[in-house]
Amino acid sequence: MSESKPLYIYNSLSGKKEVFEAINPPFVGLYSCGPTVYSDVHLGNVRTFLTFDIVYRYLSYLGYNVRYVRNITDVGHLLDDSDDGDDKIETRARLEKIEPMEIVQKYTNGFHDTVKTFNLIPPSIEPTATGHIIEQIEMVERILANGYAYEVNGSVYFDVKKYAEKYNYGELSGRKIEDQLEQTRDSLEGGNEKRFFADFAIWKKASKETIMKWPSPWGDGVPGWHLECSVMSTKYLGQQFDIHGGGMDLKFPHHECEIAQSVGADGVNPVKYWMHGNMLTVNGTKMSKSLGNSFLPHELISGDHELLDKGYSPMTIRFFFLQANYRSTVDFSNEALQAAEKGFKRLMNAIELLQNLPKSDKSSIDINKLIQNSNQSMNDDFNTPVTIAYLFDGVKMINSINDGKEEISEADLTVLQKFYNDFVFNILGLQSETSDSKSNNVLENVMDVVLKLRSQAKENKDWSTADLIRDELKSLNITIKDSKDTSTWDYE
């Protein structure tokens, strides 16, 4: 472990920051709920995945050997939480008149492209719900055998009331079951199969029309949504593992049910630290596909959306998210994104200067404090906005050294360069965008030369050469527009 100071993690289970102690060091098991691949991920989803990318990166930086599991939900997530709605993927497949697995493939590909664009490190394992049907059936059998579930007409429901007699259903979300008991009678009228309103399906009987279904001891059906995460997290990380994450909206019922399932099946509380990222909002309302206020990442990058003044680069957007604490909401605004764009450029300019700063015999600045503070803020529950504020203290130093107002020794410069490399690129996962702009500059310069040659050819009335240049460029998707005096070019 490279740092001696403890890492504190805010544990949603206790509602407090706790010193992080790995169950089985130096191994750390990290699980994050992944996307339901029935449509494109929106920018809010990206925020949550970014939060756990930072957790992964920082734990790795501290020297832990992290196994990061992030699943793909490709069956079982219903359109609402009632257990009676249709499967999101199957509904979409009917709409687009294609196979459910084509929907799964299409949006899994899209998800992978998106997370790559934002420089998220791929997880160590990316399991799918459909790939773990046998294990899910086995878990249902264990829960049934322990008496915490019951079968009705080919479906199996978790018996929350029975569970609550012995365990605390609501320990994560703080919801009290006894406060809700009164509702039972009303909600169970009308032939509902559940004995108790809070019961949830762990296996759901398939209808004749259902395409995605599997044989089970209770007939053909599909696993309940919460079940896949219980099964896949413990299969790859052990019956009790270190960290489980997801967005705040998953705390209840999804994560509460995961705890109940593991305890019901194996008598073990599965997770030591529960972490929940807060929501990206638009005018104070959660960004969500169903509310129609969501942006797709490519809309934000191109600026092609009615709420956007212009487009922003993926790294500007990543930086924008990291400027907020993961436990606070972030409200989308053009002003905040413009400020993030400026800030990100300032940081990157300083890093470029850092590579060629003048060295002196001794330093007039204290870089140790800067490094200590930055480690401390990351150790304080991954506090990226405070860390970024320290990085900007360093930017001031770098600019002052560059202007000759401060001095830095060769040894300190090496340490400072490594520090920025670690924090900006490895931990915050930002990427320099200059290589792109450099190649753009080269292209601009080369095109200047080509256009000059062409206008010379035209002056010499060498029309065939001028046309040849134009046609060859056209085949490279570069169009030349001729006006009276000059020619310009555009890349399509």
Determine if 35 is a binding residue for ligand AMP (CB under 6 A).
yes
Determine if 36 is a binding residue for ligand AMP (CB under 6 A).
yes
What gap in Å lies between CA 161 and CA 183, rounded to an integer?
Answer: 13
Amino acid at 205: K
Min separation Cβ 327 and ligand AMP, Å: 12
Peptide bond into 314 cis (omega under 30): no
| Two structure tokens written together for 402 | 């560059």
| Two structure tokens written together for 123 | 């997880």
In this chain, which stretch among 200-208, 246-254, 388-396, 417-425 interacts with ligand AMP, using CB under 6 A?
246-254
Interacting partner of 263 out of ligand AMP, Zn ion, none (Cβ under 5 to 8 A depending on kind) = none
In this chain, which stretch among 17-25, 99-107, 146-154, 223-231 interacts with Zn ion, using CB under 5 A?
223-231
How many of the chain's residues bind Zn ion (CB under 5 A)? Answer: 2
In this chain, which stretch among 14-22, 281-289, 378-386, 434-442 interacts with ligand AMP, using CB under 6 A?
281-289
What gap in Å lies between CA 427 and CA 61, rounded to an integer?
Answer: 7
Would you give the binding string for ligand AMP spanning residues 288-317, x where CB under 6 A is met?
x-----------------------------
What gap in Å lies between CA 204 and CA 158, rounded to an integer?
Answer: 11
The shares of helix, strand and coil residues in the chain, as percent rounded to the nearest 5, are 50, 15, 35
Min separation Cβ 238 and Zn ion, Å: 17
Interacting partner of 260 out of ligand AMP, Zn ion, none (Cβ under 5 to 8 A depending on kind) = none
Question: Is the Cα torsion angle 446, 465, 463, 461 positive or negative in sign?
Answer: positive
Would you give the binding string for Zn ion spanning residues 306-345, x where CB under 5 A is met?
----------------------------------------
Q: Which of 69, 206, 229, 473 binds Zn ion (CB under 5 A)?
A: 229
Amino acid at 77: H
Q: Which of 9, 12, 31, 45 binds ligand AMP (CB under 6 A)?
A: 45
Please, which residues bridge with residue 205 across strands?
221
In this chain, which stretch among 111-119, 222-230, 430-438, 478-486 interacts with Zn ion, using CB under 5 A?
222-230
Dihedral through CA 308, CA 309, CA 310, CA 312, nearest 10? -60
Min separation Cβ 47 and ligand AMP, Å: 4
Write the CA distances from 354 to 89, 213, 314, 317, 358, integer angstroms.
Answer: 49, 58, 23, 24, 9
Closest CA to 413 of 426, 430, 394: 394
Decide whether 89 or 413 has the Cβ nearer to ligand AMP.
89
In this chain, which stretch among 30-38, 139-147, 456-464, 478-486 interacts with ligand AMP, using CB under 6 A?
30-38
* Structural element, H or E, at residue 68: strand 65-70
Determine if 33 is a binding residue for Zn ion (CB under 5 A).
yes
How many beta carbons lie within 10 A of that of residue 95, not counting itself? Answer: 10
In this chain, which stretch among 121-129, 242-250, 405-413, 467-475 interacts with ligand AMP, using CB under 6 A?
242-250
Per DSSP bridges, beta strands 8-11 and 16-19 are antiparallel
Decide whether 229 or 243 has the Cβ nearer to Zn ion.
229
Residues engaged in binding ligand AMP (CB under 6 A): 33, 35-36, 44-45, 47-48, 246-247, 249-250, 279-280, 286-288
